[in-house]
Structure formats: structure tokens, C-alpha cells
Amino acid sequence: MRQAFDYLPPAGHPAGAEDVGRRVRVPFGNRELVGVVVAVAEPDPAAGELRAALQILDEAPLLAGELRHSLQWLAGYTHAPLGEVLATALPGSLRHGQPLPVRETWRWRLTEAGMTALDRLRAGSSPRRLAEALGREGLAEWQLDDLQPGWRSAARSLARRGFAERQAEQVAATVLPMQSGPPLNPEQTAAVAAIPGHGFAPILLEGVTGSGKTEVYLQAIAACLARGRQALVLVPEIGLTPQTLARFRARLGVEVHALHSGLADNERALTWAACLRGQARVIVGTRSAVFVPLPEAGLIVIDEEHDGSYKQLDGIRYHARDFALVRGKALQVPVILGSATPSLETLHNARTGRYAHLRLAERAGEAKAPSVRVVDVRKRALAAGLAPETLAVIATQLQAGGQVLVFKNRRGYAPVLLCHDCGWSAHCNRCDAPMTVHAAGRRLQCHHCGHRRPAPPACPDCGGLALQPQGVGTERLEELLADSFAQVPVLRIDRSTTQRKDALERHFATLGEGPGILVGTQILAKGHDLPLLTLVVVVGVDEGLFSADFRAGEKLAQLLIQVAGRAGRAARPGQVWLQTHHPGHPLLETLLSGGYRAFADAELIQRQAAGFPPFAHLAMIRAEARQLEHVQAFLRATRVALANVAQDLELHGPMPAPMPRRAGFQRMQLLLSAIQRPRLHAALQTALPAIEALPEARRVRWSLDVDPIDLY
């Protein structure tokens, strides 16, 4: 709900400004709920009788200062209820009212004054015994619990006199040995020098794959730690590997706290609490880590800032990169956006001078940029999508002891099951989409709603037996490659084979140091450093060349550069073979002749001409229901409500969603576009209450997405 609710403070608790940000347990209807205090005010006599909150749950506010203000900003920007935003920001167990968990890493020790005064404390007294136990080295609280039950009052008495102090344990600083990195090259040195120690500074670090961006982050983080500040590093979902964490730990010499969706609720809450208390000095996490409290913030890094996983696609549709920039500004700390293929939004901001722009144009160390070769596969006989010369080069690389990555952005055996006699093809009966063939043709699966069924033995329409898988997915490639290169390991890596947490690591371990083949989807585009990888084969990207989505070209260019960047990251030179039916496509030509930079230049000109981001600002209202009429009626009424309040807003639709039916729901959308961002927000702000009150709104599921990244 959009509104806040008024309560009296719990009996005997005088409410004050210091309650803002604390959680409370309150009666709500005939239930009890957990809430967060967002304001304290004098009761309004006109409001009538108020119920009293039952209990204040926190000693100190959980959502205080900068984080609370930034979340408030986010609620305004996404036009979402503040309650939902706060609930999104809090780990589950805190949202449900569990106490803020304690990590037992506080340490008490004697001060210099305490050391001198030790003898003057009454022999045998509780403070004296505690002081003797503590000494200058000190003890952790959990150790004191065992050693001297009831030690806390003695500790307070020592602290009052300045004889003892309590400190957050800098666990890692004292425990872990530190490794030094390679000496930086001049470009890296210049980049590190350009990152200021404090104050808000948005910085694009544009560095080709393998140019040593991570080394630059590590140096900036080390400097941040040396200043006694916290560093937050956001990484894409597929980038948060044990390899990455180990590298950070070894190099920084402190505990590195990982935060990602794979953690249990209590683990997330522990890390969140450690951030709030300032115990966590380095936090590396995926999208939702952008919500951790950073009372001593010093630096924010967003690795692979162009990555799509930073955008949340349901609930509060926030963009972690954009929210990180908002927080960096509020916290007055530098924000580094790193990428080999920056998003066009970020590039535009760098070019117009809003962000500083640092470049790493060369690969670090010995590695050289890979060479790229385009294979025209028109009219060619293909085996599971591979041309004969592609198979030949794979064989050559394997013989030379190299590893090969075969990339195809489609999992399953084949995208379509077709009857060669009558033209029937297997469709999901809940979605308007073909079902993907899995398990070498035995099983069908809908990649949109998850529905599975066995493949029919004969055509359901004509009874014929000529059912044929059409096209190529990773399973089919794996089958062919395992047959053709039986002497080396062939490993398939896609969402079907990496369900388990450690699956990727185990795959890479199997591959080892010898020749072998990896077949996979974009999961392979980033994450693991494979020094023996000398050849990358890209099997067809043609679907992406003709998509209606205005961002399709950008996504494809990024994917190609990222996948190609996996080749030749160490001393061995790398090659990229790109198979296509459209060797003359402008996107490929520009990318191959001028690189990502040339592509981005051309694309920005087109975006400007067409009035798309970053030159315009978009919002999408999506709606779905079982009956199409309900969806249409709601979006038409919504369009009227918006048109009534804003003249300079462009409204497109209602139009069918790119997938007009999914899991049995009819889906349509309304796209809003404005040249001035404030206009867009003003219109939404004014019109949303009317839209929510529409009778048509009760018959559909609908959502608002500000800055949509996918137009579906």
C-alpha cells in the first residue's frame, strides 16, 4: 500500500526522532505485522482513536541516514510504495522481525591508561579480574562470555574511566596474509591515480577484456581500506565466482563478504548486520548487495556495468548500477563503472562530461588481442551448425594442446520440433512459442513457462513419423563434438548443467590443464579466467541481428566482444571464429572493423535520431489477464488517464507484448516516452492514483517499469 499508517508508541515508550528507521511490531486488522517507523509526529486529534504499536524491535535504527534517504528516493523514482522498497532492501529474516544477528567479532582491550592504572584497581574485584584478562591484546566478547560471566558491567565501568575500549574486530587485517599483485602498467597506474580518495566522482573505466580492470579496482579498494573506509563491489550474477572472491581475499588481506541470492536468509542477515556495524570492510555482491548499509563508505565499484543482471525484472524494478550512483552521490564517495563494453547510457554520460572517462586500451601483461575471422556459412553443409573449416580449426587447436570454447546462445538440443510431412511443430499450449527439444529429441520444454512433456512418438496432426529437431542448441553441439573429438573432454555449460552452486567450478576442474572443449551459452561470456583457451567459436548470432528490440544490437555487440575476449587471456595468442549467414550486416562490419567504440558511435547516432535512450526516457506499463478484453480495457483507460495529465508525453500502445501469451495469460503493454525525465515522472506521479483506482485495474495484473531495459 502506498500510504503509511499511524500508531501510538508502545505503552511506556516515549516516541522521538531517534525511532525513525527502527522496526516495530504492530497490530494490523486482526494480524500482527512488522513495520518500519518512517516518521514521528504529534497525534492529529481529527484522526480519531489510534492503536498502539506492540513493541519496538531494534535498539538502534536499521534504516538510518543515507540508506533511508536513498531508499526514499528510490520509492519516488520507481513510483513504488515505500513499504515495498524497504521490504526489498531488508534481508528476509529482518523483514520478518528477527533480531539483528550479531557476529561475535567485537573485541575489548585495555587502553594505555588502563595498562598504567591496572595495579590501582581493587584486587579481586570484577573490573580488576577483567582488566587482567584483557591486557593490551584484548579478548573477543564471546571469549569473555566463557571466561567471566557477567563481565559486561565491569567492562562498562572500565570504559567509563577510559581504561578499556571496545573495537570492531578487523578479523582479516590481522589474520590473513596478503599477496602483492603484478606491477601496474602505465595505463593502470594513471587510472588508479585518477580515482579520488573522497567526494562523489562517477568514473567510467573502459578497458578491453583482459586489460587489468580488476587490478585497478583492487588498488583503489586497498587505498580505501587504508583510509579506514568500507568498499562495496557489485558484480554480475555470473561473475561472482569462488575464483573472484579468492583473488580479492588474497590481495586485500581482509575478510571479503560475499552477498548473493544463493545465501540462506540468516547468512544474508549476518552480512547485512556486519555492514551496518562497520565490521564488513569489503563486500562483493550481486544486484541486491546495493542495499547494504555503508556507515563508513569509501568506494563503490560496479564491475561489468553494462550487464543486464543489474536490473531487477519484477517487484521493485530497480537498476542496481543507477541506484549505486545515487548512493555514491549521497555518500560522497567515488563510483567506478568498469566494462569493456559500456552501456550506451554510461558512454553518453562519459562523453557529455558527466562521468570521468578512464581507458585501458591494451591487454595487461603478455596477452595480445585475439584475431577475428568471419566464416560465411551460406550454402554450406553444416554439422550441428558447424562448418567443415570450423571443425578443422578445432582439431588443430586441440592437437596443439589448446582449449576451445564453442558458444551458442541457446540451450537444449534444438529450438523447434518439426513434422517434415505436414509442417506441424511442437508449441507450448500455454504460451505462443515453440517448445525447445531436449534430451536428444526425447523431451520438450517451454523456456518461457517451464512446462515439460515427452516428445510425441508420431506427429499429432498427420500421424507421420518424420518428426525432426530443427536448428541447433548446446546439447546438439555437445553431442557432435563429443563424437568428433572423443579423445578430449567435452563439457557443456548452460543453465541446465549449472543448477548446483559449485557446478561451474567442478566443470573447470574436470577440464584441467589439458586440451578440451567447452560448449555453452552466455554463462561462459564472463567469470572464469581460462589461460589455456586459445579458440572461441561463435555459432550463429543471426537471431540477434534482426530483433525488434532497440537494445538488441547493443546486447549482441556486448556479448560478441565479451565472448571473444575469453580467448588468449594469457601468453598463448587467441583466435575467434564467427559463423554467420549475414557477413555483410552493418553491425558485424562496424564491430569488426572499428571495434565496440565504432559500433557505439553509430548506435548512439541512431538512438538520437529515433528518440530512444539515452536521448529519451522510457517507462513501460505491462498488463496481463486470462481475457484479452480486460487487458485492453485497462491499458486504454490508463492511456486516457496519462494523456489527461501530460501533453508532451509520447504514448505508444496498448500493443501486444513481444510474447503476447505466456503461461495462459494474455499480455499487452503501453510505452511512455519523454525527452525530459522530470516530465515523465511528473505525469506518472499525477496519474498513478487515478490508474490504481480504475475499476479495470482489478481485472488484470499490471506493473510499472521505469527505465525498462527489455521492451517486454
**CA 71 from centroid of its chain's CA atoms:** 18
The conformation of residue 301, written as its DSSP 8-state character, comes to: E
> Does 431 interact with Zn ion (rule: CB under 5 A)?
yes
> Does 212 interact with ligand ADP (rule: CB under 6 A)?
yes
224 belongs to an annotated ligand binding site:
no
Instruction: Give min distance, CB of 339 to ligand ADP, in A.
Output: 9
Q: Which of 78, 88, 93, 211 binds ligand ADP (CB under 6 A)?
A: 211
Q: Which of 110, 254, 444, 459 binds Zn ion (CB under 5 A)?
A: 459
DSSP for 357-376, please give it: EEEE-S-STT--PPEEEEEE
Contact status, residue 442 vs residue 455, Cβ threshold 8 Å: yes
Sheet of strand 650-662: strand arrangement:
650-662, 665-674, 617-625, 701-706
Identify what 552 binds: Zn ion, ligand ADP, none; CB under 5 to 8 Å per kind: none
# residues contacting ligand ADP (CB under 6 A): 15
* Cell 530512444, residue located: 612
Contact status, residue 614 vs residue 349, Cβ threshold 8 Å: yes
Longest dimension (CA), the chain: 100
Instruction: Output the CA–CA distances (angstroms, integers) from residue 257 to 98, 243, 271, 333, in the order listed.
Output: 21, 14, 7, 20
Instruction: Output the CA–CA distances (angstroms, integers) from residue 438 to 218, 356, 378, 420, 491, in the order listed.
Output: 42, 48, 27, 19, 16
E strand or H helix that includes residue 538: strand 533-539
419 belongs to an annotated ligand binding site:
yes
Residues 6+ apart with CB under 8 A from 442: 454, 455
Residues paired with 260 in a beta bridge:
none
Q: Which is nearer to ligand ADP, 188 or 474 (CB)?
A: 188
> Does 448 interact with Zn ion (rule: CB under 5 A)?
yes
Residues numbered 460 to 519 that lie near Zn ion (CB under 5 A) are 461-462, 464
Contact status, residue 100 vs residue 62, Cβ threshold 8 Å: yes
DSSP for 346-360, please give it: HHHHHHTTSSEEEEE
Single out the segment in contact with ligand ADP by CB under 6 A; choices: 208-216, 324-332, 400-408, 636-644: 208-216
462 belongs to an annotated ligand binding site:
yes
- Please state the φ and ψ torsions of residue 22, each to the nearest 5 degrees: -85, 155
> Does 445 interact with ligand ADP (rule: CB under 6 A)?
no
The x, y and z cell numbers of residue 345, run together, are 547510457
428 belongs to an annotated ligand binding site:
yes
Identify what 461 binds: Zn ion, ligand ADP, none; CB under 5 to 8 Å per kind: Zn ion
Q: Which is nearer to Zn ion, 64 or 663 (CB)?
A: 663
Single out the segment in contact with ligand ADP by CB under 6 A; choices: 87-95, 117-125, 177-185, 615-623: 177-185
Residues numbered 213 to 242 that lie near ligand ADP (CB under 6 A) are 213-215
Residues numbered 523 to 562 that lie near Zn ion (CB under 5 A) are none
Identify what 211 binds: Zn ion, ligand ADP, none; CB under 5 to 8 Å per kind: ligand ADP
Distance in angstroms (rounded) separating the CA atoms of residues 88 and 289: 11
Contact status, residue 455 vs residue 426, Cβ threshold 8 Å: yes
Distance in angstroms (rounded) separating the CA atoms of residues 343 and 325: 15
Pairing of strands 665-674, 650-662: antiparallel
> Does 444 interact with Zn ion (rule: CB under 5 A)?
no
Instruction: Give min distance, CB of 532 to ligand ADP, in A.
Output: 13
* Cell 554467420, residue located: 580
Distance in angstroms (rounded) separating the CA atoms of residues 578 and 373: 6
Instruction: Give min distance, CB of 462 to Zn ion, in A.
Output: 3
Instruction: Give min distance, CB of 207 to ligand ADP, in A.
Output: 5
The conformation of residue 441, written as its DSSP 8-state character, comes to: G
- Rg, the chain, Cα only: 29
Single out the segment in contact with ligand ADP by CB under 6 A; choices: 6-14, 212-220, 389-397, 669-677: 212-220
> Does 188 interact with ligand ADP (rule: CB under 6 A)?
yes
Burial of 150 (0-12, 13-18, 19+ CB in 10 A): exposed
Instruction: Give min distance, CB of 364 to ligand ADP, in A.
Output: 3
Single out the segment in contact with ligand ADP by CB under 6 A; choices: 20-28, 211-219, 348-356, 677-685: 211-219
Single out the segment in contact with ligand ADP by CB under 6 A; choices: 207-215, 289-297, 326-334, 536-544: 207-215
Q: Mark out the alpha helices in 566-676 (DSSP H runs).
A: 586-610, 628-645
Single out the segment in contact with ligand ADP by CB under 6 A; choices: 203-211, 223-231, 443-451, 653-661: 203-211
Instruction: Give min distance, CB of 284 to ligand ADP, in A.
Output: 14
Instruction: Give min distance, CB of 605 to Zn ion, in A.
Output: 39
Identify what 210 binds: Zn ion, ligand ADP, none; CB under 5 to 8 Å per kind: ligand ADP
> Does 529 interact with ligand ADP (rule: CB under 6 A)?
yes
Identify what 422 binds: Zn ion, ligand ADP, none; CB under 5 to 8 Å per kind: Zn ion
446 belongs to an annotated ligand binding site:
yes
Q: What residues line the site for Zn ion (CB under 5 A)? A: 419, 421-422, 424, 428, 430-431, 446, 448-449, 451, 459, 461-462, 464
Residues making up the annotated binding site are 419, 422, 428, 431, 446, 449, 459, 462
Binding-site entries for Zn(2+): 419, 422, 428, 431, 446, 449, 459, 462
Rule CB under 6 A: which residues touch ligand ADP?
Answer: 182, 184-185, 188, 207, 209-215, 364-365, 529
